[in-house]
Chains A and B, each alone.
Chain A
């Protein structure tokens, strides 16, 4: 199984003019990309801005993407370059420089981050709620389902590797991971639809 087959099928659709397929790629990689960018900038809101810029750059550069490398590798490269440029640009700004380097203590830097942060209290609660719900759902999973989903998401193993580790067929691994996701998603859906009524914010 090619490591990039589903990403590539979405990429090809975008290259044929289907913008909806790019949404799926953004949904899939937005958290990873924000996490990556946060190695360069500390502020989550700024990291999201940079990730957004990286996605837009990727969209515009997609006609040149030929699939020689994996899509996410290509996307990560764009994000890293965008983050580096943002840091350089910020450091060159006189006002930012004064705040960051001359007057700023760790506390004032954090305050600056908070001032930029557009996170609402509801949003913070929602993030915590999602984490709590997912963790509780994982704890409630049967052992074989939990092992399968953790090996996949945490260790990044392929289905074949998980099958070898758990001594079961690949089809069983696929089924276990799906059932684990379904069980977690059932609770997660309730959080958005029933709990805070913020389904839209997930996207």
Chain B
């Protein structure tokens, strides 16, 4: 039994003892002074074999360190977050991405709506005087034109669907594929419905048609 313990101590000294046995022996080693003295002699044997010249084998380092440490408070390991962190990051990243995508989409909607509304005071005033709808059309179409922005629908100031779709696509890296597909499907459905309702007033550009085809 004693020999087995000493054999384990020798293997532990060489970092060759299985972890489970190390745990048990480390506990005993920290309390058993005789075992600790043997452990210290193993170190002295190694130092001699390595011919560590100049090193005093009866050095008082361990004794002096022990004396200082005995007056120190016990150290306490900082809480380990290594297990919980990957789990958290596994959820935080996609949720964060979703939140960011939603924010971008909301900002895009707000911006597009803002762009679609007439911003010029005189135009609004004139629109009021002229009975409204034609002036509203002019105001809506006087903004910066884009080949993907459909013409405004008279009497109906909605978000230009394809422009919004472009924003969603442009920011697709922040949204999940399922959500992106849902949003695009909704937009395309809305687009198709609008076109069906007012066939003569909205003519999607060629690019838009291609986009719709590719989406299908």
Q: A interface vs B, CB < 8 Å?
A: 1-10, 12-24, 26-35, 38, 44, 47-48, 51-52, 55-56, 59-60, 62-64, 66, 119, 123, 126-127, 130-131, 134-135, 138, 149-150, 152-154, 158-159, 174-175, 177-178, 181-182, 184-185, 188-189, 198-203
Contact B26 A5 (CB under 8 A): no
Let me know if B74 and A19 touch, CB within 8 A. yes
Q: How far is the CB of A4 from chain B (nearest CB, A)?
A: 6
Question: Which residue on chain B has the smallest CB distance to residue A15?
Answer: B77
Name B residues whose Cβ lies closer than 8 Å to a Cβ of A. Answer: 6-7, 10-19, 22-23, 25-27, 29-31, 36-50, 52, 54-66, 68-70, 72, 74-78, 80, 82
Residues on A with C-beta less than 8 A from B17 are 5-6
> 19 extra interchain contacts, Cβ-Cβ under 8 A, other than A6-B25, A19-B70?
A1-B15, A1-B18, A2-B15, A12-B77, A13-B30, A27-B40, A28-B13, A31-B43, A31-B44, A55-B65, A63-B76, A64-B78, A119-B56, A123-B58, A159-B11, A177-B10, A185-B38, A188-B44, A202-B44
Task: With A5-B19, A31-B46 as known contacts, state yes or no: A203 contacts B55, CB within 8 Å.
Answer: no
Q: How far is the CA of A138 from the CA of B17 in the complex (A)?
A: 24
Contacts of A52 in B (CB 8 A): 61, 64-65, 68
Give A16's nearest chain B residue, CB to CB: B77
Least CB separation from B56: chain A residue = A127
Are A10 and B26 within 8 A (Cβ)? yes
Cross-chain contact B12 with A6 (CB below 8 angstroms):
yes
Measured CA separation A182–B76 after assembly (Å): 36
Asked if residues B54 and A38 are in contact (CB atoms below 8 Å), the reply is yes
- Residue of B42, B46, B72 most packed against chain A (CB within 10 A): B46
Q: Given contacts A16-B77, A60-B72, are A31 and B58 in contact (CB under 8 A)?
A: no
A34 touches B55 (CB 8 A): yes
Is A174's CB under 8 angstroms from B16's CB? Answer: yes
Give the complex CA separation of A177 and B45 in angstroms.
12
